[in-house]
Amino acid sequence: MASSNQLQGDQGDQGDQGDQGDQGDQGDQGDPGGFASIEESGPSVAGGPGSFSLLLPGGSGSAGAGLIHSREAMIMSFDDNPPAIRQKQSFREASEDGLPEVQGLRRFDACSFDIRQVNLLAELLRSLRLDAYATGHRIELNHVELEPGTTEPGAGSYKSYLIFSISRPKADVFAGSQLKLVHQWAELRAERLSELSSQLGLPWRYWAPVVDLNPTTYPRTLELIALVVRLGYHLLQPTKHYLGCPRPTSYSPSIQPVIRPRRFDAFPSGHAMEAFLVARMLALLAGGGATRDDALNTQLQRMAARIASNRIVAGVHFHLDSIGGRMVAESLAEYFVHRCQADAGMSAGWVPRRFAGAELTGEEDELASAFNRKEIMHGEGVVSPYFLGNKDAVPLTPSLRAGAVIDVDGPGMLNRLWLGALAEWQ
């Protein structure tokens, strides 16, 4: 029989299991899911009503058998004509055929979180076109507004509005001063290991303390942010694929990342995009449209920059990756908010930004500088060579279709969620 000391020694091996806790965060990478608890959790108090989880979708053999017997006892007889008692909430906003209006929005509120996310994402993606070009090694994201013809099937017109454009830098650009910066920043790993290893997915635990973000008080806010981050991932993953820029470890065996990234390319950084998307949305909601000089916005921007920089420290991204991710986030956040507005006149629109990586030679001074969250990306103040094409960029404020219902004017599901999130902070 093993002694108690021997048994305790074996328990030391269980310390390795502590690392498995981080794997839960990895499940969120690429998709800010895991929001079922926002709506689908309920109280479980001793002596109280019990857990509401029993009311969630699903079923079991034993419960189903009980329900069969219960129904038989209640109905008493199997009449071919069940009593017609309609639930009013299922037939609200009725059309002339007795069923709800196609464009009705009250049913949107009755859907579960995951279904609303699917419907909203479909509404957002229906007007977006991502094109890749082998010549110039670039991608473009445009909003394409279709105007179906009224007399001839298949006819019509369209208008296209640029959201962002990115051309990739050459391999030698990454292999020069950019690689040297990643190598130098490895000195920060011991200091930041606990941070970067707990930021593998969307790190809600880091954002929550800044504005007291929680699912009880701000469910629609969390839903709105989850939606824009999901949209970002659906657009950024194919962008990464077409641009095809490897991670730092592909350039040198000395990088040796301290975390294991998922198997896709590096540029632009998804974590940087995600972090600056969250920062911008929280600034707009919690800060009432905070400016860049606002104290709350400053804290949020610092948090986003810290999260993005930690990926460089970890050895899985270049500084250029974070710069590109931040640009995507800013243009996408502005575009997203414009889409959420019921009236284009209420929106400041979005700035169509370009990242001209293909024009870099590798000799530019900016490539030897650390990622800067305050870097000017458009307007007269632009000095960075990859943003020079944005000096004359101005916001676009087109009037866009509110939703998928093309023959009825009025706000759509996106505006419904946007107003719900705004109301939580008022």
Q: What CA–CA distance (Å, rounded) separates 398 from 401?
A: 10
Return the pLDDT at 71: 82
Return the pLDDT at 294: 86
Name residue, tokens 């641009």: 243
Return the pLDDT at 52: 75
Predicted model pTM:
0.85
Per residue, the 3-state secondary structure of the chain, as one string, reads: CCCHHHHHHHHHHHHHHHHHHHHHHHCCCCCCCCCHHHHHCCCCCCCCCCCHHHHCCCCCHHHHHHHHHHHHHHHCCCCCCCCCCCCHHHHCCECCCCCECCCCCHHHHHCCHHHHHHHHHHHHHCCEEEEEECCCCEEEEEEEEEEECCCCCCCEEEEEEEEEEEECCCHHHHHHHHHHHHHHHHHHHHHHHHHHHCCCCCCHHHHHHHHCCCCCCCHHHHHHHHHHHHHHHHHHHHHHHHHCCCCHHHCCCCCCCCCCCCCCCCCCCHHHHHHHHHHHHHHHHHCCCCCCCCHHHHHHHHHHHHHHHHHHHHCCCCHHHHHHHHHHHHHHHHHHHHHHCCCHHHCCCECCEEEEHHHCCCCCHHHHCCCCCCCCCCCCCCCCHHHHHHCCCCCECCCCCCCCCCCCCCCCHHHHHHHHHHHCCC
- CA dihedral angle for residue 204, residue 316, residue 258, residue 232, rounded to 10 degrees: 20
Return the pLDDT at 48: 60
List 148's β-bridge partners, or say none. 156
Q: What CA–CA distance (Å, rounded) separates 52 from 270?
A: 36
Residue ranges for the chain with pLDDT beneath 70: 1-50, 76-79, 148-154, 289-293, 342, 344-345
DSSP letter assigned to residue 261:
-
Between the alpha carbon of residue 120 and those of residues 125, 227, 412, the distances in Å are 9, 8, 10
**Token digits of residue 379:** 């307007």
For the chain, give the mean pLDDT: 86
**Token digits of residue 80:** 């071919």
